[in-house]
Amino acid sequence: MEGNAITTRRIWMFVFLGLALVGAGFYVNQLINGLQVTGMNNLVSWGLYIITFAFLVGLSAGGLIISSSAYIFKVEELKKVAPIGIVVAVACIIGAAFMILVDIGRPERVLNILFSSTFTSPIKWDFFVIGTYLIIGLYECWIFFGNKWKLESEERREAIFAKAAIISLPIALLVHSITAWIFGLQAGRPFWNNGLMAPIFISSAVVSGLGLLLLISFLGRKLNIPGLDKENVETLAKILIGFIFLDLFLFFCELFTLAYTGGTAPAEAVALIMTGKFAPLLWFEIIVGMILPLVILFNKSARKSSALVGLSGLLVMLAVFLKRINIILPGFLIQNIHNAPGTSTGRFVQSTGLFFEAGETPFKTVASYMPTAHELIITVGGLSLVAFIILFGVGLIMKMDSPAKAAKKEANNKVLSSEVA
């Protein structure tokens, strides 16, 4: 049975690697032709790539925040979640870096961020913090999977990990705050510019991260991934309930504050996502993505079913993704200056030779954005890369000898060698 599951894991690894390579191929095409292959334009200058970036940064939190907190606040049961939490964190942050890389127009110049002397840009802070986050994540991976630590006692390893956790927890919180500030500090975008952005990003990050752990626990149920056994999953589910409530509360606070006065640009944006174009996303997010998982997780018998728990994990992840769309796109759609004829889109439409063709002008008063197939494929490639790294990491975790076992082995070896002597 277990052997079967391992083969399945391998097959999926190949599938995801293939998808990631397809995405890479399309990315090469984007490098050659420029970002015209995407649906973005001068009015909506960030699209699916940045939405996915924000989503992946969020996903990487859940496991790391939970497992680091477990070590810092000494919650014994949850300490075992740490290896899978770290693997998810590292995989997602690599995916997030990839999404940033595909989004920028001249990726070969990305190191200009390092060498510039200005420090006011949230993107720059994000670059440094994500770099630090990745390094700490890899260091913690090394503690778990490195050969050097195999023979150390469990106490010593835990002590070292606890020390790393003291750094990684604030860095994890900082990564989300700064990602939120990329949007929240823009005074020019009234819908983004509010103080609740960072708390909302952190709360929904934990929600989606926990959702991913629950999903992994269901998909890998036959592998018995350490840390994701029945009791731990139930604890994680309970934490998830709390964070869903926190997330809904913060989201409500934001929308209510922006909408209450009425007549302002943020209120217009709230109307857009409550009843306008984005309403289907919002209501799907709240009803199917938040309330349905709550119903499942509150039900004691449902909470025991790994399939239902995995399903609620998937649903909250979907909800957080839709939420990222609902935060980022309305910020662009509500403009400070919306007089006719609007803004030039930057996208040249080949003329058919007729005068006054509908839709053939480079100007647009109402911003609109729809991702192209090309953009979707690159994004799917990025997500597949994440899935591939997670599956690879799961393999490492499975191979990871429990320290007690290793100690026993060593003791046995010593006994054997002394007997031989």
Partner 1 sequence: MTKQLAMLIDKDRCIGCWTCAVVCKMENNVALGNWWLRILSNGDANYVDSAAVGIDGLPELVYQPTACMHCANASCVKACPTGATYKNADGITVQDYKKCIGCRTCMAACPYNVRTFNWAEPMQVPSYDNGDHVGDARVPSRPKGVVEKCTFCQEKTAVGELPACVTQCPVEARVFGDINDPNSDVSRAVRDRAAKPLLEELGTKPNVYYAPQRRKLNTIAPEGRGYNGR
Q: Which C-beta is closer to partner 1: that of 373 or that of 396?
A: 373
For residue 232, the minimal CB distance to partner 1 (Å) is: 40
Q: Which C-beta is closer to partner 1: that of 340 or that of 420?
A: 340
Exposed, middle or buried, 17 (CB in 10 Å: 0-12/13-18/19+)?
A: middle
The two three-digit tokens of residue 40, written as one number: 């973005």
- By the 8 A CB rule, do 304 and 156 touch? no
For residue 325, the minimal CB distance to partner 1 (Å) is: 15
For residue 39, the minimal CB distance to partner 1 (Å) is: 10
Residues whose CB falls within 8 Å of the CB of residue 318, separated by 6 or more in sequence, listed in order: 285, 288, 289
For residue 320, the minimal CB distance to partner 1 (Å) is: 21
Q: Which C-beta is closer to partner 1: that of 7 or that of 120?
A: 120
For residue 123, the minimal CB distance to partner 1 (Å) is: 4
- Give the angle subtended at the CA of 77 by the CAs of 159 and 143, to the nearest 5°: 35
Beta-ladder partners of 343? 364
- By the 8 A CB rule, do 331 and 192 touch? yes
Q: Which C-beta is closer to partner 1: that of 45 or that of 257?
A: 45
Question: In whole angstroms, what separates CA 298 from the centre of its chain?
Answer: 25
Which value, in Å, is the radius of gyration of the alpha carbons in the chain? 24
Q: Which C-beta is closer to partner 1: that of 93 or that of 225?
A: 93
Q: Which C-beta is closer to partner 1: that of 276 or that of 395?
A: 276
The two three-digit tokens of residue 146, written as one number: 């490195």
CA–CA distance, 252 with 363 (Å, rounded to integer) = 35
The two three-digit tokens of residue 341, written as one number: 């004829």
Q: Which C-beta is closer to partner 1: that of 121 or that of 305?
A: 121
Q: Which amino acid is at 145?
A: F
- Among 121, 236, 96, 256, which residue's Cα sits nearest to residue 178? 121
Q: Which amino acid is at 152?
A: E
For residue 193, the minimal CB distance to partner 1 (Å) is: 9
CA–CA distance, 264 with 261 (Å, rounded to integer) = 7
For residue 294, the minimal CB distance to partner 1 (Å) is: 34
For residue 181, the minimal CB distance to partner 1 (Å) is: 11
Q: Which amino acid is at 291?
A: I
Q: Which C-beta is closer to partner 1: that of 9 or that of 364?
A: 364
The two three-digit tokens of residue 230, written as one number: 């029945």
Question: In whole angstroms, what separates CA 279 from the centre of its chain?
Answer: 23
Residue ranges that bind partner 1, judged by CB under 8 A? 33-36, 38, 40-43, 45-46, 100, 103-107, 109-110, 112-113, 116-118, 120-124, 127, 182-183, 186-189, 331-332, 335-349, 362-363, 365-366
